[in-house]
Amino acid sequence: MSARAGQVVAAVLLPPLGVFLRHGAGRDFWIACVLTLIGFVPGALFAVWSVLRDSSDGMAATV
């Protein structure tokens, strides 16, 4: 299982954890927390989207 697959599984089971593993405790993490408190489905959808997108700011990651 790749790291990204693990992040997606974590995002589905516990949305804030999946976002934290991908982006740390930044803006996306707190958005996932609030959405999960409102309802599990919005939090899970946001977390999966956040984990699967390329980067947190929309820019391609540099190596």
User: What's the pTM?
Assistant: 0.78
For 41: left if phi > 0, alpha if psi spans -120 to 50, otherwise beta; the answer is alpha
Which pLDDT score is estimated for 55?
59
Q: pLDDT digit string (tens) for 2-27?
A: 788 888 898 999 999 999 988 899 99
Asked if pLDDT for residue 44 goes beyond 60, the answer is yes
DSSP letter at 60? P
Which pLDDT score is estimated for 62?
44
pLDDT mean across residues, the chain: 85
Which pLDDT score is estimated for 1?
73
